[in-house]
Structure 1
Amino acid sequence: MARAQIPADLYVLADEDLMAYLSGGHAAAFEVVYARHEAAAFSLAYRVVGERATAEEVVQDAFMNVWRSGFRYDPARGSVRTWLLGIVQRRAIDALRRGGKHARRRASDEGIEEWLPADDRTDRQAEVRDQAATVRAALLDLPDDQRRAVELAYYGGCSHSEIATLTAVPMGTVKGRLRLALKKLRAELAPLAGETA
């Protein structure tokens, strides 16, 4: 089956039109989608994972997913940007979770302190790691829908309306989930902030 003729100037096309060409296997359409959204995708990935190399891997993985499954894009569910950033956000959170597991595994190895320079073993760094572990545990204690809303808002940098689109729930529900989650987190994490619960 012959592929549809692609316009000479793809940059004038809307994202949704580009996705039709991309799902037909047109690499040039993919290049335009990548050029338009790579910076936002990297920014989101970096905010979630906090490391440049990991963020770059997340973005590459997400765009490869778009190349392979562009046909799954449904314009009725939101913009190309929202769909794409949803993929990036999920991949970034997966990378963050994998990274946490690897870090715990490395830290549990016997004699690890002998491999680290002395300045990497300060009391302050240990305290920060303990606090981060406490925050991660508190997040894991939240119901799935509340945790996802918090991850999208604070790790993903998404607005309430973007979260509503990504999770396919009304904005009022998103706000309610965030309010309940933050109330629970505040109560659980009050000792870290020196507050009274």
Structure 2
Amino acid sequence: MGEDGRTDAALWLEATSGTEASFGVVYDRYRARVFRRAFAQVQNVSDAEDIVAVVFLEAWRRRKDVRFVDGSLLPWLLVVTTNVTLNSQRAARRHKRLLAAIPAAEHAVDPGHEIEERLDGQLLNGRLQAALHRLNPAERRVVELCFIEELPLADAAAALDVPLGSVKSRLSRARRKLQAELGDAVWPGERQADDAPAPLPRAADGLEVTG
């Protein structure tokens, strides 16, 4: 429930019934959180802003399918954010492969080469960021929801519309993979309570935006 006292469900009902201002309230309520999640994945302000726009466009397109978790639309929006980001990154990789397949003109100087390398460095911001990108999409979604956004496992399961056991097993597999790549010095090995996953270690600071 926001400062105006209206729940997300009430606002969404108003929005889908023709009250455009209510959709604007939902947008204002969660735009910053969606932006933070997008920026954590792409490390680029312009790209993150584009993802925010697509997320809310997708939310409206799928307005009859949205899910509320304990009355909040945020967990579902975070899932959509991850999906949109993965799709945009796949499209960027296809575009990059296409450009690489085009023969360069003889003696041509590529002025975008340095910029492209810098953007690649941003996408692979540190060992942890790279390791997260190597998880499969299902594992990456639960890691982002449970460890980065610190949602309880039950809320993550509701947002993803999967059984709680599936979230636990995906999280366990992801944790083993990350430990294997990063070691316990970067990924703490202490056991956590079943429904209270610890946040990512401080080595993950590059994944988040504060403020």
Question: Same fold by TM (over 0.5)?
Answer: yes
Contact 1:45–1:55 (8 Å) recurs in 2: yes
1:20 correspondence with 2:13:
yes
- Rounded to whole Å, the distance in 1 between the matches of 2:116 and 2:31 is 37
Report if the CA contact (8 A) 1:49-1:95 is conserved: no
Cα distance in 2 between the residues matched to 1:32 and 1:52: 23
Show the counterpart of 2:80: 87
RMSD: 4.0
Where 2:15 maps in the other structure, the secondary structure is helix
Q: Secondary structure at the match of 2:55?
A: helix
The unaligned stretches of length 5 or more in structure 1 are: 1-9, 191-197
The answer on whether the counterparts of 1:149 and 1:178 sit within 8 Å (CA) in structure 2 is: yes
Kindly indicate whether residue 150 of structure 2 is the aligned counterpart of residue 159 of structure 1. Answer: yes
Summarize deviations over 1:114-149 as a string: whole Å, max 9, x none.
Answer: 304786698xx89x97x99x858843xx5x643543
Task: Tell me the residue number matched to 1:104.
Answer: 97
Gaps of 5+ in 2: 183-211
Deviates more, 1:17-26 or 1:64-73: 64-73
CA distance in 2 between counterparts of 1:118 and 1:74 reads 43
Is residue 56 of structure 2 the alignment partner of residue 63 of structure 1?
yes
1:39 aligns with 2:14: no
Radius of gyration: which is bigger?
Answer: 1
**Cα distance, 1:44 vs. partner?**
1.0
Of residues 167-176 and 83-92 in structure 1, the stretch that sits farther from structure 2 once superposed is 167-176
Structural mapping, 1:108-187, within 5 Å: 108-111=101-104, 114-116=109-111, 138-139=134-135, 142=136, 145-150=138-143, 152=145, 157-161=148-152, 162-171=155-164, 173-184=166-177, 186-187=179-180
Counterpart-to-counterpart distance in 2, 1:88 and 1:118? 29
What is the one-letter code of the residue matched to 1:177? R
Q: Which has the higher contact order (CA 8 A, sep 6+)?
A: 2
Distance 1:80 1:119, change over 3 A: closer
Which residue identity does 1:60 align to in structure 2?
A: A
Contact 2:142/2:171 (CA < 8 Å) preserved in 1?
Answer: yes
Q: Deviations over 1:142-186 (max 9, x none)?
A: 5x64354346567xx333524323223455542332222342455
Pairing 1:49–2:49 present = no
What letter corresponds to residue 159 of structure 1 in structure 2?
E
Counting aligned pairs with the same residue, the percent is 27
TM-score w.r.t. length of structure 2: 0.62
* Contact 1:149/1:177 (8 A) holds in 2: yes
